[in-house]
Structure 1
Amino acid sequence: MQSISELLKFLTGTVFAAMPRDMLRELVLPHGHVALLSRRRADMIISRVRMVAGLFAVLTPLWIVIDLLVFSWPVTGLLVAGRLVTTVAFGMLAVSFRKSIRMREAYKALAMMFGIPTLFFIYSHPLLSHFDMAGPAAAIAAGYAFLPFVMIAGLAVFPLTATESAVFAMPVLCAEALVALLQLDMLNWSSHLGAFWLLFLIATVAALAGMSQLSFMMSLVRQATHDGLTGCFSRTSGEELLDIQFHIASRSGAPLSVVFLDIDNFKKVNDTYGHDAGDRVLRTMTEKLRSNLRSGDVLLRWGGEEFVILLPNASGATATSAVTRLRDIGLGTRPDGDPVTASFGIAERIADGVTDWHQLVEIADQRMYEAKMAGKNRLVGCADPIQYEAVVNA
């Protein structure tokens, strides 16, 4: 027991060692994952489900040869029938979910992946326990009892949170408990309890392995999608997020606002004080923006000193109020002590009647340019464009 406890502590430390504290919750609960991570995770889960299902669609009928060699009628016929049904189910799963990149579809695929062999176990194991067997037949029949262990160990193949691993392991554990409670096995109760305890330990280790995969994926996604200087989403990942949010808003009929901002006279900072000073201005400004945005809002670095703020479920009026509040709080200071200012343009999906996110960003960019031409340090909103001086210049 002590060695098992030490092993679990070691594995836990391995999983969590390099993970920032604010990301640990995402290893336990699937809620709060950014859309890009969910999309990539769903794609990986579904591709692995299809790969495993295809493999078992080939291996399952091959085992029929073993059944024919070691079992007698009617056991052979019943097992062959069960294997053929299982093979068809695995084959159908292997060719399903081809274009699905949503976690809802990934959950369905996983449920089928674990449901098919679980049902076969519930069908085959009690069947074999009703017949007296000896020699090779008894050995093969006993081997059927290890199917739940194979299924639980398979959890390690997928990048899952602790909660997700527990949910998908539960039916397998319940199936094993059901067989034990009904005493449909040739094993005694002590063996049943030992097998169930071992199954639980394997499920725990498999869950840790899945969490380790997820933490590695989270780190890779963050490195690939975030700007190294400011920590904002990069333009490439931002375009994907814009596409996702625009489709979500279009399907639900919800508003979606985009704010395009450009720091005023930023080139003078680099020319006068150097690029290190300019980098500090960018970092300070983005930190202030992030700390004062809603949890669901997204800040993108569009290029240089240009940024885009994505505001889901925000009307043009709501976006205008949010930008006004951000400007009142301030965007930091320049190396000479003057406040950092920016020109803002706002566009909203419904008010501006756009059909894709490219048009939405283009309109916000045009309005930002209008604010620049009007004297900088201004906001041009959507629907009823307004321009006004910043509080610092009032």
Structure 2
Amino acid sequence: MNLELSDADRAFQAEVRDFVRSSLPPELAERNRRHMHLAKQDYVTWHRLLNKRGWGAPNWPKEFGGTDWNPVQRYIFDEECAIADAPPLVPFGISMVGPVIYTFGTPAQKAHYLPRILSMEDWWCQGYSEPGSGSDLASLRTRAESDGDDYIVTGHKIWTTQAHFADMMFCLVRTDAQAKPQEGISFLLIDMKTPGITVRPIISIDEGHGVNEVFLDGVRVPKANRIGQEGKGWTYAKFLLGNERTTIAEVSTSKQRLRRLKTIARAEMAQGASLLEDPAFRDKVAAVEIELLALEYTNLRVLAAETAGKGVGPEASMLKIRGSEIQQTITELVCEALGYYAAPFEHAPEGSNLAPLGPDYAQGRMESFLYNRATTIYGGSNEIQRNIIAKMVLGL
């Protein structure tokens, strides 16, 4: 998609492009391009470089340390970062709990947590899913019992992304077992160094350690760490999930991956000609490009509505569904284009002397394909998102 940019927008685009190209460490861009498992410090380094420039929270209001960028500027920023193979901003603090805190938090919570999110002093994780309470999140059983000025939290969270890196967790807990499922839940901010917290790794199919189990055994949490009213956590959770599902769309990242897919298809040969000239394969590429273009327009409309002060509604579910499916389709087509070069799974630890197999552009593609099998599940499975659309949009 080519936006009609004003002179001011073009100047902003040049500013972002120059900053990203001059500031992003080349070795970090290369690791991200190859879909290597990035270390915690990789994400922190890039975030702090952006924050030093004043761009650490592109979606926040200026009064809280954000940019107050309009939708076109946010679009330009995402595009330039994707083109440069910059790692994504970690969403848990910036895109998820940060907006919850500055929208619903107390003045003391805002003063304490927001600067620490901006500086990446606190790394956050999300304590939502539980065994048996993933898609049916309202059935969660982790309980928080009142004890003076504290809650005593006991329960088990699962699929907790980057909990092994985290300093803090935003967590849904049940504070009233007698209330209706959605009405007995509260939203707590929990220090991960508190006694009683155990984090156990879950190694995913791409051999990455991204997700974890978190066990909470009598964890003492000050009531001052509760967001908003007791029992109203479901309201704050829905607000947060709307923000999460718009970021999962990853339009700019998919556009960069589509460009890379075309590069690979031009280089690979089929019956004496470029694979991109093969009518059947070319039609597949064209189909996903059309879907991505439609998603991009929809994403821009959502950004514009959000900037105008309208909350994120069920359209977030549409973005999540189409965005995740497009990501999977592109990674599938990359593997199809690579043929047998896609077959080896070559993930190797940092410092490994294993020689790469196949051309340079084949590196990390199987790892990306395997990881992206989860995109239609995390952030609320696509089946659940379709139920939300059926109810909220179609009235079924």
Same fold per superposition (TM over 0.5): no
Structure with the larger helix share: 1
Q: Which has the larger radius of gyration?
A: 1
Structure with the larger strand share: 2
Query: TM-score normalized by structure 1?
Result: 0.28
